[in-house]
Amino acid sequence: MRFLSRTLATVAAMALAAGATALLPDAALAGTGMPSDWQMNLQGPATEVSEYIHWFHNWLNVIIFIISIFVLGLLVYVAWRFNEKANPVPSKTTHHALLEVAWTVIPVLILVVIAIPSFRLLKLQLEIPQADLTVKVTGKQWYWSYEYPQDGGAFGFDSLMLDEKQRAEAISSNKIAAAEAPRLLAVDNEAVVPVGKIVRIQVTGADVIHKFTVPSFGIKIDAIPGRLNETWFKADREGIYYGQCSFICGQNHSYMPIAFRVVSAEKYAAWLADSKKKFANADDATNKVAAAGQ
Ligand SMILES: [Cu+2]
């Protein structure tokens, strides 16, 4: 019995440790908007949905830790207490009504405490609130096109990854800060959205299936040719947020990053005015496909 109480105490201590890890600030474990060196956790959250995903992930971790340690404790106890030497005459017990009810009901309760927040998260992701603006995203081999159909803008542009030479040039000419232009993620044209506004994202594919993923926004949605998928986000903080195509879509699948720059309302208005001019020319090679999609 003393061994059992000691095992239970250890289980409780480990569960507390797991809980404490869940409480650690995300910044200590991972960067926001892009991966960081020695990253251990999900990328930091920048929306309500991704905050919920973080909470849910940590909650599941606590449950998984408790179950694993409990099962390990039971195995160790059985091997120690009921081996041939310690227990030469085995008991003939075959049934124990209370125990059997318990090991049916307790797992059901565990599934319930997982299912309830899981359904709430799904509802939060799938029910798109009244949007302030819409951005249409098209996955192509191998880059993304963005269209801003609203705001009287009706412009679109392609967003291609900067190769190492272009990235070095962009940094040296102060077009983008080095800390905001990670290798294999920095792009020529970032999609810009205002902070604190509900952005509806419409996603489709032009050639094969791609997948539009921005970890810090808590978004991952298929880009399928002939189908328009919808999702949403409301970024709480300004900054640059990167994502990547998450469906193997061909040779350059790993070189089609997604870049969203979240800015103040004033900066967004200025960018919008600029972009209307910059991307207005349908003859512009980078704009052809987007214009055709209007
Ligand atoms: Cu792709």
The pLDDT, as a whole number, for residue 149 is 85
pLDDT digits (tens, 9 = 90+) for 99-133: 999 999 999 999 999 999 999 999 999 999 999 99
CA of 118 to the centre of ligand 1 (A): 28
CA of 131 to the centre of ligand 1 (A): 26
CA of 140 to the centre of ligand 1 (A): 7
The pLDDT, as a whole number, for residue 153 is 65
CA of 212 to the centre of ligand 1 (A): 8
The rounded percent of the chain whose pLDDT value lies above 90 is 73
pLDDT digits (tens, 9 = 90+) for 23-37: 555 444 568 899 988
Give domain limits for the chain. Answer: 2-126, 133-287
Looking at per-residue pLDDT, the higher value among 257 and 293 belongs to 257
Task: Please list all protein residues whose beta carbon sits less than 5 angstroms from ligand 1, which is an ion.
Answer: 210, 245, 249
Cis peptide before 144, with omega less than 30 degrees from 0?
no
* Lookup: tokens for 268: 């967004």
For residue 7, the number of C-alpha atoms closer than 13 Å in the C-beta half-sphere is 17
Between CA 45 and CA 26 the distance in angstroms is: 8
**Res. 279 pLDDT band, cuts 50 70 90:** confident
| Cβ–Cβ < 8 Å for 224, 53 | no
pLDDT digits (tens, 9 = 90+) for 184-204: 999 999 999 999 999 999 999
Q: Is the pLDDT of residue 283 over 70?
A: no
CATH number of 133-287: 2.60.40.420
Between CA 141 and CA 14 the distance in angstroms is: 47
Looking at per-residue pLDDT, the higher value among 109 and 287 belongs to 109
Residues 6+ apart with CB under 8 A from 22: 58, 59, 61, 62
Mean pLDDT value across residues 234-261: 95
pLDDT digits (tens, 9 = 90+) for 35-87: 988 888 899 999 999 999 999 999 999 999 999 999 999 999 999 999 999 99
CA of 209 to the centre of ligand 1 (A): 7
**Res. 140 pLDDT band, cuts 50 70 90:** very high
CA of 139 to the centre of ligand 1 (A): 6
Between CA 63 and CA 19 the distance in angstroms is: 9
